[in-house]
Structure 1
Amino acid sequence: MKKKISFFIICNLFLAIGLFAQQPTPTFAIGDSSFLLNGKPYVIRCGEMHFARIPKEYWRHRLQMAKAMGLNAVCAYLFWNFHETELGKFNWDGNADVAEFCRMAQQEGLYVILRPGPYACAEWEFGGFPWWLLKQKDIKLRTQDPYYLERSRIYLKEVGRVLAPLQVSDGGPIIMTQVENEYGSYGNDKEYIGKVRDYLKEAGFSIPLFTCDGPSQLKNDVRDDIFSVVNFGGNPQANFKALREIRSKGPLMCGEYYPGWFDSWGTKHHTGSVGNVVKEIGYMLDHKASFSIYMVHGGTTFGLWSGANCPPFLPQTSSYDYDAPISEAGWDTEKYYALRKLFSGYLQDGETLPAVPTRNPVIKIPAFTTTEVAPMFSNLPAFISAKQVQNMEAYDQGYGSILYRTQLPGGPASVLNIQEVHDFAQVFVNGRKIATLDRRRNENSCKLPATQKGDVLDILVEAMGRVNYGGYIHDRKGITDKVFITGSNGESKELLDWKIYPIKLSNDGIPAYVKFRQGKTSMPAFHKGKFVLNKTGDTFLDVSTWGKGLVWVNGHCLGRFWNIGPTQTMYVPGPWLKKGSNEVIVLDYTGPKKNVLAGLELPILDSLTEKATVKKHRKDGQALVLAGVKPAYQGSFDTGIAWQTAKFNTAQGRYFCLEALNAHRENDPFTTMAELYLLDENGKELPRNKWKVVYADSEEIQGEDGKADNIFDLQNTTVWHTKWQGDSPKHPHQVVIDLGALQHISGFKYLPRQESPNGRIKDFRVYLSQTMFKGL
């Protein structure tokens, strides 16, 4: 009997092994007209979410939300600096456990598109690069710089060790991997792209590789041996046409489709139209085009990880709500249900929509006050003696703030000049604040009162987050060059012999040397308070009575706050709270109006308190004088939202002026513009990384983000919009751009505002000058 049972078990075992061996290996490939999953056409309905912006305890909930909305894949950036915070020390545990995130996605029925970098952007500190790369004074990022390539190769090899086993060809969820990110908006060295591709292959990635970029930048980084997708926030028909012009075969895919936008300090909260999003994604589905919604869930840039754009310097908020279909706290929204309804009509064979997960519980926390304080100037680390000032990185510091202290020579009132402030400085003489300098406004000098020899000068500089995009990413923090005094006679003298205090901050808590006492202060300080809970849940910490700084709750850094807005609350995930006593520490650089905190049930995402939220590009009384200046070209634009090109005889100029004479809509006083490119003598687009708006006759910066800089921010969802709140100046409207150097110009390309017809330019004139125009 035992022999028969054993024989039966063995037979069944061999049968099971045989059946297992016959199971086909999953495949994902790129066909001539469609993606092929296991040999069959497949449309990718993807959404971007970043595991680093979501508490690990909520990963599954957010993935389930994406699946229930109707997605079949998620897209995920890796941020190099999140995994190699110290040179040579990698972390893949806790919230950095991307392998677990991918396995979890697979368990929820979602494939994964991986975007490992080495460069990411994503409004993340330094675009994902580790700060310690900037310790190399001559490093050239995103080039064939030997040190940069060496460290990139080591990083990508480590990524492969962790994630290559999770490729679809090995039974995992990862179906595609991106090579670099939007490189065409930065450079055109296709050999560099080839090297990054080779590093990924060397790291073990055998699945399809791809690059992504905006429609105008595709030609700068497209290689025949790497698949290409296009990024856009509107007009899919025109943007897919641009993709087809450089890639005649292969499936169509939008790598980043923008349903909203991110927020910067001092600017209005961005939202995106539900109707436009549904219409444009519906167009893609009707044409069997794949897409990834950036973002389907933005989450929160916790800690010190938020980045900045430049120029102008605009640090981004910690809230990364993005007006995404799934809100910052993981809530279903009107946009969510509109897309769920849309996707229900395009499911593939065998697909069904799961029920929408319930929201995580939300709690209120009654108002409480902080009761202890640790003044920053009384809680300093050991100092470093230095003849001249240097940037943070030179002192082996990545994040936080830095105090520069010296004794003044004494003398009459003068001007203190700092080259340069990165990013927010407060200047003190003998402990009394005399000035605040804000990089957003290019403030690098202040009046210095009459002083005595030996008076103490303190310059406290806060790093707001390194530039994450464009040509200014080599963004070192603190004081980048030198400090000098200029007297009334115009003579300057550099200040020397400094004590440097690197105030290093981390995401895991405040420095151990900080000691609290009972009391309050309006000087830069840490403040401590406690609150008691009988139940936990998500909440939104109201910081509207505080100044500017950072918050830690039970050791978790929630991110940055700034009373100028637009966000006045900070998202607190329920798993970071506990029943009983909870601790809050607030670092406030400028001092609170009230030492009061509370937990709200709803966020405050759109409350600006700063009167001049963005520096206007027109001074009071300033007026551009074009009388007697001959236009280089004049013409008319067609109606519609497509790119339009104007060409003329090549001329030289450093200063470019576009003057809008009227709009297509009758009695429309506005001018709007999404993007602008200039063409060189060969008809090629000129680089825009050194461009600077020096004049705009009118900008709407209160009612919306209508600043003129938006015309070269590479995003067609943001626009220059002339003023409409309060009054509406009539035509003509002008914008003047300093190109940074003398250029040969043969034309330009203009992208009208996409989602609305108001302000679309009809008749226009173009002016070029080698010197600044009169009146400016």
Structure 2
Amino acid sequence: MDKFEIKDDFYLDDNRIKIISGGMNYFRVLPEYWRDRLEKLKALGCNTLETYIPWNLHEKQKGTFDFSGMLDIAKYVKMAQELGLMVILRPSPYICGEWEFGGLPYWLLKEDGMKLRCMYEPYIQHIRDYYKVLFEVIAPLQITRGGPVILMQVENEYGYYGDDAAYMEFIKNLMIENGCEVPLVTSDGPWGEAFDCGKAQGALPTGNFGSKGKAQFEVMKKKIGNKPLMCMEFWVGWFDFWGGEHHIGDLDGHLKDLDDLLSEGHINIYMFEGGTNFGFMNGANYYEKLEPDVTSYDYDALLTEDGRITPKYKEYQKVIGKYMALPEVHLSCHIERRAYGTFGVTRTADLFQNLDNLTAPVENLYPVCMEKLNQGYGYILYESNLPELKRLEKVRLWKANDRANIFLDEKPVLTLYDRELLSGHELKNAVCSNGKLDILMENMGRVNFTPIMEEQRKGIDGGVQVNDRLHFGWTIYPLPMEDLTNVDFGVPAKTGLPGFYEFQFEIDDPADTFLDTDGWGKGIVFVNHFNIGRFWEIGPQKRLYVPGPLLKKGKNTLVIFETEGKVSGSIQFYDEPEI
């Protein structure tokens, strides 16, 4: 039986070993491409794979667990082992990772008063329930039981969030109680109080940073003593948010840091491949304003979002080759890109006329947030009839998050985003005859960092103030957009209103491609019923990655749900991404 230990350094079967790891999350890459990416990781010179584990995907609804398909972590880890790679698992309830709600399940927020990442008993009990099931899957993968897992991480960057030492000890002990047998680590920025607040007794502290590697290791030495130095997240790039700029890493600076770090210790490259925030799984940040992350998690990583080897990869490989004999790896997967050209709209459907086809409405005196209706993601529409309302002069949404499209008599009158939701808005010429008010709210992705996470209920959690008074009496339509099969395309979409746009096209050779969203406003895209993610004309992302395994030879169907009513009569597929 193999043995992995932490002493003055890392030791595998009593032999000193240098960990050169790459981060790649199985849940951001289609399973059909796992082997391709893992082979490229090994060819880089890495001997270890690192991945987070997202609680919110594995337990989408309380008590219902999924470890199949894209979530088959056991298959992923065993595939890495087949290629001779060791594995680092980060099974924290919270993962950050620019992932929706930092990996926490949305249903935690259904409970009033929920407190996260501390010894708050209701939160703690949910973790107990989750770990009992999770460790039945991951414990057999440890090196102590013949698997490749050599390390597991306790929590994640906890020093940035809180100082509940008892909570960190609880998480550590709960992992051990559920079968964790390999050494444990923590990971935090080595500056300020973060490193100290994020530690757990007996777990090796590791550092997360993207520059000044030698200086960071010097700080860590003073704190951990005669223990191995490891950068658990060596940030090679950064993530993008809607309305921001595309981020490119400092290659020359990173190469110097890589060399410095490997000369003194160990490293995990974050990210080796970033992959994609498919569906509604992008996270968000909130400091001065809401910054939801884009669909692509390219991260300026060593592999592109679709797994192509970059010039950066080759430069990193040269540095790693100074410390590790580079293996000869036969890349067994042949993956191509295709530009399929332009296709016209096949048919369209209006949202308002399809509400009852998409969901079961809820009648309520006042608006209710998504979470209270057991909805995690997507959209939610609040509708009310005010026959006496002839003019909408002012509107205010209380305890509302993210984005609202407001309609009178199914005509758009106002769009509110982020802080605009917090104050009253006066309208001009908002005249109506029927008094029908609709408010379409979008969950743009729950914030994945800072204590504002506890305030991430989506939709409207308070009330709607109409012309200086709270209005009561609502019909609520949860719109998770998980199943569009009942959409009635016999009622065409209307100009300027939310709607569905279907495209049917035939191809002979399924391959990776990129959907250009030029001419469209804002929404999501389904390819053969798979939600490939969000688009928004403000950029910086302009094309969505469509992995080849989602396509099929012959007829394919693509559906765009467009919230702004800003549409093009066609779509176009390219063989290159565009930021």
What is the DSSP-based 3-state SS (H/G/I as helix, E as strand, rest coil) of the residue aligned with 1:502?
strand
1:430 partner letter: D
Deviation by residue 1:255-275 (Cα, 9 ceiling, x = unmatched): 101110011001011111221
Confirm or deny: 8 A CA contact 1:143 1:192 kept in the other structure.
Answer: yes
Q: Which amino acid aligns with 2:365?
A: K
**Structure 2 letter corresponding to 1:576:** L
1:290 aligns with 2:263: no
> Is 1:530 equivalent to 2:509 in the alignment?
no
The question of 1:335 aligning with 2:287 is answered no
Q: 2:231 aligns to what SS in structure 1?
A: strand
Cα deviation 1:52-76 (Å, max 9, x = unaligned) = 0000000000000111111110101
Query: Is 1:473 aligned to 2:453, yes or no?
Result: yes
1:352 maps to which of 327, 342, 345: 327
Q: For the structure 1 residues 205 and 356, does the alpha-carbon distance in structure 2 shift closer, same or farther, using more than 3 Å as the test?
A: same
Matched, 1:591 2:565: yes
Separation of aligned partners in 2, 1:83 and 1:242: 37
- SS of structure 2 residue aligned to 1:501: strand
Distance 1:443 1:135, change over 3 A: closer
Checking the alignment, whether the CA contact within 8 Å between 1:554 and 1:582 is kept in structure 2 is yes
- Matches of residues 340-739 of structure 1 in structure 2 within 5 Å? 340-347=317-324, 352-354=327-329, 360-380=335-355, 381-408=359-386, 409-410=388-389, 414-439=393-418, 444-449=423-428, 451=431, 455-474=435-454, 475-486=456-467, 492-506=468-482, 509-510=483-484, 512-517=485-490, 519-522=492-495, 523-605=497-579
Corresponding pairs, count: 569
* 1:426–1:435 contact (8 Å) kept in structure 2: yes
Q: Residues 655-696 of structure 1, C-alpha deviation per residue, up to 9 Å, x if partnerless? A: xxxxxxxxxxxxxxxxxxxxxxxxxxxxxxxxxxxxxxxxxx
Equivalent position amino acid for 2:337 in 1: V
Q: Deviations over 1:133-163 (max 9, x none)?
A: 1110111011111111111111112121011
One-letter code aligned to 2:476? I
Q: Is the 8 A contact 2:408 2:432 kept in 1?
A: no
Q: Equivalent residue for 1:279?
A: 256
Distance in 1, matches of 2:426 and 2:10, equals 63
**Alignment deviations for residues 170-197 of structure 1 (CA, whole Å, 9 cap, x no partner):** 1210000011111111100011011111
Q: Equivalent residue of 1:527, what SS?
A: strand
Distance 2:96 2:55 in 1: 11
Q: C-alpha separation between the residues in 2 aligned to 1:575 and 1:104?
A: 19
Q: In the alignment, is residue 218 of structure 1 matched against residue 195 of structure 2?
A: yes
C-alpha deviations, 1:372-401, integer Å up to 9, x for none?
112110111332111111211112211111
Aligned to 1:685: none
Quote the residue 2:39 is aligned against: 64
| Candidates 40, 48, 52, aligned match of 2:23 | 48
Whether the aligned pair in 2 keeps the contact of 1:546 and 1:595 (CA below 8 Å) is: no
Q: Identify the residue that residue 104 of structure 2 maps to in structure 1.
A: 129
Q: Hey, what's the Cα distance between the residues in 2 that align with 1:249 and 1:469?
A: 32
C-alpha separation between the residues in 1 aligned to 2:376 and 2:392?
A: 35
Question: Does the Cα contact within 8 Å between 1:344 and 1:353 map onto a contact in 2?
Answer: no
Distance 1:445 1:106 in 2: 57
Q: Specify the alignment match of 1:35 in structure 2.
A: 10
Alpha-carbon spacing, 1:564–1:452, altered in 2? closer, same or farther (3 Å) = closer
Aligned partners of 1:421, 1:357: CA distance in 2, in Å? 50
Identity of aligned residues (%): 38
Instruction: Identify the structure with bigger relative contact order (alpha carbons < 8 Å, sequence gap 6+).
Output: 2
TM-score (norm 1): 0.71
Structure 2, unmatched stretches of 5+, are none
Q: Distance in 2 between matches of 1:194 and 1:374?
A: 54
Q: Distance in 2 between matches of 1:359 and 1:57?
A: 12
Q: Counterpart amino acid of 2:521? A: G
Correspondence for 2:141 = 166
TM-superposed deviation, 1:520: 4.7
CA displacement 1:469-497 (0-9 Å, x = unmatched) = 111112110012111135xxxxx311111
Question: Which residue of 2 is the match for residue 202 of structure 1?
Answer: 177
Describe the superposition over 1:507-559 as per-residue Cα deviations: whole angstroms up to 9, x where unpaired.
Answer: xx42x432113755331011111111011110001112211111111111101
Q: 1:320 aligns with which of 297, 307, 320?
A: 297
Counterpart for residue 717 of structure 1: none
Q: Give, in angstroms, the shift of residue 440 of structure 1.
A: 6.4
Deviation per residue, 1:621-648 (Å, 9 max, x gap)? xxxxxxxxxxxxxxxxxxxxxxxxxxxx
| Cα distance, 1:442 vs structure 2 | 5.7
One-letter identity of the residue aligned with 1:456 = K
Greater displacement, 512-521 / 124-133: 512-521
SS at match of 2:42: helix
Does structure 2 retain, via aligned residues, the 8 Å contact 1:331–1:359?
A: no
| Matched residue SS, 2:398 | strand
Picking from 81, 85, 95, the partner of 2:56 is 81
Deviations 1:66-123 (A, max 9, x none): 1111111010100001111111111111111000000000111211100011111111
Alignment of 1:171-320 (within 5 A): 171-216=146-191, 217-287=194-264, 289-311=265-287, 312-320=289-297
Q: Is the CA contact 2:493–2:500 (under 8 Å) kept in the aligned structure 1?
A: no
**Partner Cα separation in structure 2 for residue 385 and residue 326 of structure 1:** 49
Q: SS where residue 399 of structure 2 aligns?
A: strand
Matched, 1:26 2:36: no
**Residue 242 of structure 1: CA displacement?**
2.3
- Give 4+ residue runs of structure 1 displaced > 2 Å after superposition: 351-359, 407-414, 440-454, 517-522
1:243 deviates by 1.6
SS of the counterpart of 1:205?
coil
C-alpha change, 1:368 and 1:520, in structure 2 (3 Å) is: farther
Specify the alignment match of 1:648 in structure 2.
Answer: none
Query: Could you say which structure has the higher helix fraction?
Result: 2
Cα distance in 1 for partners of 2:176, 2:275 equals 31
Q: CA offset at residue 328 of structure 1?
A: 0.3
Equivalents in 2 of 1:537, 1:480: separation in Å?
A: 43
- State the AA in 2 paired with 1:400: G
> Which amino acid is 2:490 matched to?
R
1:544 & 1:468 partners in 2: Cα distance? 29
Kindly provide the amino acid, as one letter, of the partner of residue 390 in structure 1.
Answer: V
Indicate if the aligned counterparts of 1:421 and 1:444 stay in contact, CA closer than 8 A: no
Opposite residue 385 of structure 1, the aligned amino acid is: E
- The structure having more radius of gyration, on CA atoms, is 1
Indicate if the aligned counterparts of 2:398 and 2:422 stay in contact, CA closer than 8 A: no
- Corresponding residue SS for 1:61: helix
Paired with 1:541 and 1:29, the residues of 2 have a C-alpha distance of 47
Q: Which amino acid aligns with 1:308?
A: A
Contact 2:535–2:542 under 8 Å retained in 1: yes
* 1:84-103 equivalences in 2 (<5 Å): 84-103=59-78
Coordinate RMSD, CA, aligned: 1.7
Aligned counterparts of 1:379 and 1:403: Cα–Cα separation in 2: 12
